[in-house]
Amino acid sequence: MPALRTRSLQPGQKIRVLVVDDSVVIRRLVCHALEEDPAIEVVGVAANGAIALNRIPQTNPDVITLDIEMPEVDGLDMLRRLRRENREIRVVMFSTMTERGATATLEALALGADDYVTKASNAGSLDVSLANLRQQLIPKIRQFFRLAPSRESPPSTAPPAVLSPPALSAGVRRTPWRAQAVAIGVSTGGPAALTAIMPHFPAGFRVPIFIVQHMPTLFTRLLAERLDTLTPLAVREAVAGEKPEPGRVYIAPGDYHMRVVGPPNGVTIALDQGPAQNSCRPAVDALFASLAETYGGAVIATVLTGMGQDGLRGVQRLKAQGAHILAQDEASSVVWGMPGAVVNAGAADEVLPLAEVVPAILSRVGGP
């Protein structure tokens, strides 16, 4: 299914949200949290998928927040029916931090959900629950839209700032180009993007592949297991201390930065819970910077769909040493934040639709 472009809202226009959850308490909490944002308007609520589907023509929402477990028509069934007829409405799933919840969330993303938020099983007070919702849900909704500037804050005419790449560590030199690793950084829309591209890597691929997908603990393991069934390559959640092997895919575990350390002939994977970078752990920047330290420029770094600009600093560091940088184009991205930051900084060697990413990698790495 093709991705939707980020929509631009006109002055005074709000993001219309339909809240779907079988819990009265959760519906009220979500509505209260969203209504505090001046750019968002809650246009309706529904207690299950059947009611929600009937209310869509009446409320004309831009976004649906959708619980998975509901009576009569649950979230997954509603999503299937919705996507048969409507690709325009953005869908943000609510997921529990359980194996069952994570599995259902990955299924929802495969069915066409755009993103998800996790809800704690014991969130504590209502104030804590509201704060969690504001912190998680509002940015996930706003990421799909370009909001018109308010009259109080006229748009700046200055060009966007371009980050300077971090200084290289002593002793690290620009490397003659020969790919020794492929690295992929991805966030919003990532599970669907990875599901689309991983089957196209051939058996016997010549170098290891490292992936950072912004996801919490448990979700990354289940994502690795799902991808492992789709590609001839072996996909696994990375383990500290293991030595990367050609033709294997290593996914950063949730809540851990994944780095590649050591000399090129003795590289190992290191995991740590150091400070979040770009509000993320795992962070793409952490992986990319470590690859610059170990492989120099002998890397193909790919930045796919995602919110924010995680990966930009790492890309600049790799680019300074001669790495080849790929960025997904806006038309095929769910959110063009991360790849857009790379492109706008002038750091991308190629800007490609998702379907052309693996052929571009194979043209530089070669076949088995």
| pLDDT(176) > 90 | no
Number of C-beta neighbours around residue 304 at 10 A: 29
CA 30 distance to own-chain centroid: 23
| pLDDT(2) > 90 | no
On whether the CB atoms of residues 250 and 211 are closer than 8 A, the answer is yes
Matching CATH number, 7-146, of 3.40.50.2300, 1.10.10.10, 3.30.870.10, 3.40.640.10: 3.40.50.2300
On whether the CB atoms of residues 346 and 320 are closer than 8 A, the answer is no
Task: Give the pLDDT confidence score for residue 54 in this predicted structure.
Answer: 96
The reply to whether 156 belongs to the active site is: no
The reply to whether 310 belongs to the active site is: yes
| pLDDT(153) > 80 | no
Give the length of the chain.
Answer: 368
CA angle at 241 for the pair 297 and 295, rounded to the nearest 5°: 5
Question: What residues does each domain of the chain span?
Answer: 7-146, 181-365
| pLDDT(175) > 60 | no
- For residues 304 and 286, what is the distance between their CA atoms, to the nearest angstrom? 16
Nearest to 237 by CA among 221, 223, 248: 221
| pLDDT(161) > 90 | no
| pLDDT(184) > 60 | yes
- For 137-148, write each residue's pLDDT tens digit: 999 999 999 876
- The average pLDDT across 247-273 equals 94
User: Which amino acid, residue 124?
Assistant: G
Beta-ladder partners of 302: 184, 326
Q: Strand, coil or helix: what is 186?
A: strand
On whether the CB atoms of residues 119 and 96 are closer than 8 A, the answer is yes
Which comes out higher in pLDDT, residue 111 or 134?
Answer: 111
CA dihedral 24, 25, 27, 30 (to 10 degrees): 180
On whether the CB atoms of residues 190 and 165 are closer than 8 A, the answer is no
Which residue is listed with tokens 């969690």?
132
| pLDDT(249) > 50 | yes
- For residues 90 and 115, what is the distance between their CA atoms, to the nearest angstrom? 9
Task: Give the pLDDT confidence score for residue 123 in this predicted structure.
Answer: 53
Task: Give the pLDDT confidence score for residue 160 in this predicted structure.
Answer: 43
Task: Give the pLDDT confidence score for residue 8 in this predicted structure.
Answer: 77
The reply to whether 214 belongs to the active site is: yes
- The average pLDDT across 120-142 equals 79
Task: Give the pLDDT confidence score for residue 155 in this predicted structure.
Answer: 46
Nearest to 14 by CA among 150, 207, 187: 150
Handedness of CA 358, 290, 188, 344 (dihedral sign): negative
Give the pLDDT band of residue 264 (cuts 50, 70, 90).
low
- For residues 69 and 95, what is the distance between their CA atoms, to the nearest angstrom? 9
| pLDDT(250) > 60 | yes
| pLDDT(303) > 50 | yes
In the 8-state DSSP scheme, what is residue 349?
Answer: S
Give the pLDDT band of residue 111 (cuts 50, 70, 90).
very high
- Assess whether the region 7-146 and the region 181-365 belong to the same CATH fold: yes
φ, ψ (nearest 5 deg) of residue 287: -65, -50
Please pick, among 115, 214, 290, 332, the residue that the annotation labels catalytic.
Answer: 214
Please pick, among 74, 285, 310, 329, the residue that the annotation labels catalytic.
Answer: 310
Please pick, among 129, 187, 290, 332, the residue that the annotation labels catalytic.
Answer: 187
On whether the CB atoms of residues 73 and 49 are closer than 8 A, the answer is yes
| pLDDT(134) > 60 | yes
Q: Which is the CATH superfamily of the domain at 181-365? A: Methylesterase CheB, C-terminal domain (3.40.50.180)
Average pLDDT taken over every residue of the chain: 89
- For 44-93, write each residue's pLDDT tens digit: 999 999 999 999 999 999 999 999 999 999 999 999 999 998 889 999 99
Which comes out higher in pLDDT, residue 368 or 49?
Answer: 49
| Residue 39: half-sphere exposure toward Cβ, Cα within 13 Å | 18
Q: Is 92 exposed, middle or buried (0-12, 13-18, 19+ CB in 10 A)?
A: buried
DSSP string, 122-174: T--SHHHHHHHHHHHHHHHHHTTEEPPPPTTSPPP-SPPP-PPPPPPPTT--P
Task: Give the pLDDT confidence score for residue 119 in this predicted structure.
Answer: 77
Task: Give the pLDDT confidence score for residue 1 in this predicted structure.
Answer: 53
Number of C-beta neighbours around residue 272 at 10 A: 13
